[in-house]
Amino acid sequence: MKSSMNKGMRQSHKIIMTQTLRQSIEMLQLSTVELAELINSEFLENPLLEELNTTIDTDTLEEGLNRNLSGEEEDTLRMEKEIYTNPDSIRSTDGTDFDRRRAFIENAVSVTESLKDHLLWQARMTAADEREYSLYEQIITLLDENGFLPGNWRDMTRFSDAGRIIEVIRGFDPEGCATGDVKEGLLVQARYFYPDDMLLHNMIADYFHEIEKLDWGGIAKATGQHVNVVIEKSRLLQNLNPFPGSAFASKEIKYIIPDIEVKLVDGEILLSINDDWLPAIGISSYYESLIAKKNSGKEERDYLTAKLQSAKSFIKNISTRRETILKVSMSIMSRQREFLEKGPGHLRYLTHHDIAGETGVHESTVSRVASNKFVQTSWGVFELKYFFVSKIKSSQGDNSENSSSDRVRGLLLEIIQGEDPGNPYNDEELASKLKEKGVIVARRTIVKYRNMLNIPSSGKRKKINMIKS
CATH code of the domain covering residue 416: 1.10.10.60
Question: Could you tell me if 413 and 376 lie in one domain?
Answer: no
Residue 274 lies in a domain: yes
Same domain, 119 and 241: yes
Report pTM: 0.55
Half-sphere CA count of 442, side-chain side, radius 13 A? 3
Q: 59 or 281: whose pLDDT is higher?
A: 281
Whether 337 is in a domain gets the answer yes
Residue 321 to residue 34: CA distance in whole angstroms = 13
Q: Which domain holds residue 193?
A: 115-248
Residues 365 and 291 in one domain: yes
Q: Is the pLDDT of residue 239 over 70?
A: yes
Mean pLDDT lowest among 3-7, 10-14, 96-100, 238-242: 96-100
Q: Is residue 448 part of a domain?
A: yes
pLDDT above 90 covers a percentage of the chain that reads 30
Domain assignment present for residue 324? The answer is yes
The mean per-residue pLDDT over the stretch 357-377 comes to 91
Residue 438 lies inside a defined structural domain of this protein: yes
- The average confidence (pLDDT) of the chain is 79
Domain end: 185, 216, 248, which one? 248
Position 68 confidence tier, pLDDT thresholds 50, 70, 90: very low
Do both 160 and 244 map to the same domain?
yes
The last residue of a domain, from among 189, 218, 248:
248
| Dihedral sign computed on CA atoms, order 39, 40, 43, 49 | positive
